[in-house]
């Protein structure tokens, strides 16, 4: 069995975790990254890779997938080691203050500090309770979209009433043959401007709103859908002929074993000291959506600053015998 040795373990390979790799590298801190997903990028990769983001500095508009590609390239400067498709199962704190991290794939990593950048925690999509749904998943039922071109000239059923459902309905209406939006009520939980676009597209016939209905059954063969059956509150059935179903019912999230680490946790969020991003346990930091402090802003750009703060604070833990002299990247370049 190989036991890895590094300075820092980063739990979560989303935007904040990837930027933490870079910030750590600038301080000569070596890092390993662990994520439950098979790919890096967190929710940006799993839920909305082709959704545009408008509040990243210097990028008036950038796709989530493009942001992850750039962050990965930036992090790669310091050659991080990724451990994907596994989650942290055990944490052992040693007498010298260092840690041993063990994952679900029996990966063992010795480190001096930890950054928890796990977003909402380990997550998976909320699956609708449909008979034989597993036969279609990954072929004609998807909980995230990697490439919207797959739906070109197809009939697509989108179920849900939140931002993801509405945004993708608007986005895919440009290339799909037909978009059905199934929601159990006439009110949507999305940005007002998105709702106005949805209503306009519905009036033009590009999107058909199936309201108030909910998913009832599936029809198809060999993993390929031919129709989605929906039902209203009076048990009336309606058949929607479609090749794809995209259920957007949010995420089922959990902290998993992290909840047992003795950290100060409040409603699935980890309380930190904002000036250092350190948790109640010395050497363990939290950044991004999972971290909480007074007046917290859950924005990607905020998480970047949090990652930088955490890495600078842990310098004294990683290099206890060295004095830290702050320098701008424009002065010292890439180390």
* 3 state SS for 296-307: CCCCHHHHHHHH
Q: Which residue is associated with the tokens 């699935």?
A: 268
Q: Give the Cβ contact number of residue 17 at 10 Å.
A: 30
Q: In Å, how far are 257, 272, 297 from 88, measured between CA atoms?
A: 7, 20, 26
Contact (Cβ atoms closer than 8 angstroms) between residue 144 and residue 49: yes
pLDDT in the model for residue 184: 95
Terminal C-alpha separation, the chain = 32
- pLDDT over 90 at 255, yes or no: no
Q: In Å, how far are 44, 115, 249 from 286, measured between CA atoms?
A: 19, 5, 27
* All domains of the chain in start order, with CATH: 3-124+251-332 (3.50.50.60), 127-247 (3.50.50.60)
Contact (Cβ atoms closer than 8 angstroms) between residue 158 and residue 180: yes
User: pLDDT digit string (tens) for 273-322?
Assistant: 999 999 999 999 999 999 999 999 999 999 999 999 999 999 999 999 88
pLDDT in the model for residue 335: 64
Contact (Cβ atoms closer than 8 angstroms) between residue 206 and residue 180: no
Element at 122 (helix H, strand E): strand 122-125
User: pLDDT digit string (tens) for 137-157?
Assistant: 989 999 878 788 999 999 999
User: pLDDT digit string (tens) for 78-132?
Assistant: 999 999 989 899 999 999 999 999 999 999 999 999 999 987 655 566 889 999 9
- Residue 43 — very low, low, confident or very high, per pLDDT cuts 50/70/90? confident
What CA–CA distance (Å, rounded) separates 291 from 307? 11
pLDDT in the model for residue 117: 95
């Amino acid at each position: 069995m190989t036991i890895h040795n590094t300075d820092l373990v980063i739990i979560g390979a989303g935007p904040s975790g990837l930027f933490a790799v870079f910030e750590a590298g600038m301080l000569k801190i070596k890092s390993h990254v662990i994520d439950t997903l098979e790919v890096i990028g967190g929710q940006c990769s799993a839920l909305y890779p082709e959704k545009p983001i408008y509040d990243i500095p210097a990028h008036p508009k950038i796709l989530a997938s493009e942001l992850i590609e750039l962050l990965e390239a930036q992090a790669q400067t310091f050659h991080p080691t990724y451990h994907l498709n596994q989650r942290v199962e055990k944490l052992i704190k040693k007498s010298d203050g260092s840690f041993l991290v063990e994952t679900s794939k029996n990966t063992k990593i010795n480190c001096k500090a930890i950054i928890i950048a796990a977003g909402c925690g380990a997550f998976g999509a909320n699956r609708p309770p449909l008979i034989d749904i597993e036969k279609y998943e990954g072929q004609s039922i998807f909980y995230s979209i990697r490439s919207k071109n797959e739906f070109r000239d197809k009939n697509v059923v989108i179920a849900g009433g939140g931002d993801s459902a509405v945004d993708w309905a608007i986005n895919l209406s440009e290339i799909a043959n037909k978009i059905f939006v199934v929601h159990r009520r006439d009110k949507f939980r999305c940005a007002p401007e998105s709702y106005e676009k949805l209503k306009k597209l519905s009036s033009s016939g590009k999107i058909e709103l199936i309201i108030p209905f909910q998913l009832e059954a599936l029809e198809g063969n060999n993993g390929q859908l031919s129709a989605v059956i929906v039902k209203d509150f009076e048990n009336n059935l309606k058949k929607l002929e479609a090749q794809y179903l995209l259920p957007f019912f949010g995420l089922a999230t959990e902290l998993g074993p992290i909840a047992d680490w003795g950290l100060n946790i409040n409603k699935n969020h980890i309380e930190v000291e904002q000036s250092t991003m350190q948790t109640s346990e010395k050497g363990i930091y939290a950044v991004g959506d999972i971290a909480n402090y007074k007046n917290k802003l859950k924005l990607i750009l905020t998480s970047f600053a949090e990652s930088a703060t955490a890495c600078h604070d842990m310098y004294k833990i990683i290099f206890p015998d060295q004095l830290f002299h702050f320098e701008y990247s424009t002065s010292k370049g890439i180390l």
